Amino acid sequence: MSDPRDGPLYLMRQVLSLAVLMFACRIPSLRGLDRVTDDARFRDNWCVYSRARRATVLCSHQMTNVLAAVDPEEIAALRPPLLRRLHRQKQLPDALLLGHLMMASDGTGIFSSSEFHCEQCLTQDHQDGSTTYLHNVLEVKVVTWSGLALSVMTEMQLNPADGKYDKQDCESKAFHRLLPRLKETFPLQPIVHLLDAGYCNGPVFQAIDAVQHKFICCFKPGSIPTLYQEALTLQALNPHNRISQTSGPKRHRVRREYTWVNDLEYEGLTLHFLMCQETTDGQTTTFAWLTNFRVERDNVIIIAQGGRQRWTIENEGFNEQKTGYELEHFCDCNDLDVMTNLYLLLQIAHLFMQLLARSDLIDPVSTLTFLAHLLLEALRNSPLSDDLFDPQQPRFQIRFTRAPT
> Residue 106 pairs with which residues in a beta bridge?
139
The residue that leads in pLDDT, 183 or 332, is: 183
Indicate whether 253 belongs to any domain: yes
Question: Which of 67-71, 110-114, 314-318, 330-334 is the least confident region?
Answer: 314-318
Q: Does 247 reside within a domain?
A: yes
Is the pLDDT at 405 greater than 70? The verdict is no
Residue 329 lies in a domain: no
- Position 342 scores a pLDDT of 92
Query: What is the total count of domains within the chain?
Result: 1
Average pLDDT, the chain: 89
Q: 246 lies in a domain?
A: yes
Give the pLDDT confidence score for residue 81 in this predicted structure.
93
Residue-level pLDDT at 400:
85
| Strand intervals (E) in 208-367 | 214-218, 242-247, 254-266, 269-280, 283-291
Pair 345, 20: CB distance under 8 Å: yes
Reply yes or no on whether the pLDDT at 404 is more than 60.
no
pLDDT in tens, 343-369: 999 999 999 999 999 998 888 888 888
Asked if residue 286 is part of any domain, the answer here is yes
Q: So what's the pLDDT on residue 117?
A: 83
Label the pairing between strands 100-113 and 254-266: unpaired
Q: Which candidate, 96, 142, 156, places its Cα nearest to that of 305?
A: 96
| pLDDT tens figures, 108-150 | 888 888 888 888 889 889 989 899 988 899 999 999 998 889 9
Q: Among residues of the chain, what percentage have pLDDT more than 90?
A: 62
Q: Are 202 and 266 in contact (CB under 8 A)?
A: yes
What does the angle CA 101 – CA 105 – CA 107 come to, to the nearest 5 degrees?
165
- Expressed as residue numbers, the domain containing 270 is 217-296
Residue 372 has pLDDT above 90, yes or no: yes
* Exposure on the CB side of residue 404, measured as CA atoms within 13 A: 14
Would 104 be classed as within a structural domain? no
Which is more confidently placed, 85 or 332?
85
Question: Which of these, 152, 156, 74, 150, lies nearest to 109 by C-alpha position?
Answer: 156
Q: Are the CB atoms for 352 and 86 separated by under 8 Å?
A: no
CA 344 to chain centre: 11
Q: In this predicted structure, what is the pLDDT of residue 318?
A: 57
In a domain, 264, yes or no: yes
Could you tell me if residue 223 is inside a domain?
Answer: yes
